[in-house]
Amino acid sequence: MKTILHVVGARPNFMKVAPVMAALARFDDIRQLLVDTGQHYDEAMAGIFLKEFGLPAPDRSLGVGSASHAVQTARVMTAFEAVCLELAPDLVIVVGDVNSTMAATLVAAKLRIPVAHVEAGLRSRDRAMPEEINRIVTDCLADVLLTPSPDGRENLIAEGVPADRIHHVGNVMIDTLLRFLPAATLDRIADRVPSVRGRYAVLTLHRPSNVDERATFTGIASALATIARTMPIVFPVHPRTESRIAEFGLTRALDGVCLTPPLGYVDFLSLTSNAALVLTDSGGLQEESTALGIPCLTLRENTERPITVTQGTNRVVGTRCEDIVAAFHDVQRHPPARRRPDLWDGRAGPRVASVLHEFLCG
């Protein structure tokens, strides 16, 4: 019997680990344990995801909470080292690019425990993004690198990762999306979000480079106010973003935007899958909108998911007010072609499970 530790810490991690755990459950020679670092630590940000995805209660909850990058990483490392010494896993699985991902990888590597990274090889080429540092460090130390798209393999090979460690398995987030899409109807959220199918835009904003910089956020808010005069915008507000709106005095600037509390996964999918447009700085939503065939404007200067631009419905437009508004009008005139990338088919979880079972058990 081989023991696997799955590490989650932030909202996107739950939707990535769920299909992997479900697929590994078919092997009777593998025991799976779930460790929640508590990087996103309240019910609205994490607890509801465990319930929606049918994940088991975490076997260990580290409760690290919010802090600076250094403090949060150190807390995860200290607590996760004790878990590894206690449980002696044969493999640690990390997902995505959050601080918990890198911290758990560092601990496991120093304890000589193999690491598998789900969603390996993504690069924005922007080291001002903390997530980019997390990706690079994790991939440098991981023993099994599971990529969602061909560019991931190309990036890893260019960085000197041996080819036999890299496995193109597809996008596990799309497994979760396709699993829950039939339940994602506007009726679920009609009592909270006034919307008509195909007649509104969905907005998410949370990156510090956008919401912590007054001038940048003010410019984005101005663009949103302009767009909202043409198309209603629904904005489930991240807690950090909500505090910045108040701090920067942007409440009035966003009067035309429908602000809602954070939504659970299926409720949010109900919102996005019935929208005409997505505006976001989230990496995951770039992928989901591509899978759904919905135009997406990414409010950043770069993306670590270029396949959503070259094959999907995404367009990286930056953060300047005039550029965002111009891109909005252009996408209304020229909607992008709809094509789902290879292996974004709802079967990435089983492919991951097969690779990991072969790695552990031969």
pLDDT one-digit tens code per residue, 284-312: 999 999 999 999 999 999 999 999 999 99
CA distance 17 to 180: 15
Predicted model pTM: 0.95
Give me the mean pLDDT over the 153-159 stretch: 98
Question: Which homologous superfamily does the CATH classification assign to the domain defined by 182-333?
Answer: Glycogen Phosphorylase B; (3.40.50.2000)
How many Cα atoms within 13 Å fall on the side-chain side of residue 233?
23
Distance CA 79, CA 76 (A): 5
Q: Residue 267: CB partners within 8 Å, gap ≥ 6?
A: 188, 189
Say what percent of the chain tops pLDDT 70.
Answer: 98
Distance CA(63)–CA(9), nearest Å, equals: 9
Mean pLDDT of 215-236: 96
Distances (CA, A) of 259 to 25, 46, 61, 185, 272: 39, 20, 31, 20, 15
Residues of the chain with CATH 3.40.50.2000: 2-170+344-361, 182-333
Q: Which residues are catalytic?
A: 206
Mapped onto helix, strand or coil, the DSSP state of residue 261 is coil
**Residue 146 in tokens:** 């599971």
CA neighbor of 134 nearest in space, from 50, 42, 10? 10
* CATH pick for 2-170+344-361 out of 3.40.50.2000, 1.10.3720.10, 1.10.8.420, 3.90.1150.10: 3.40.50.2000
Tell me how far apart the alpha carbons of residues 238 and 241 are, in angstroms, rounded to a whole number. Answer: 5
Residue 49 has pLDDT above 80, yes or no: no
Closest CA to 116 of 28, 11, 30: 30
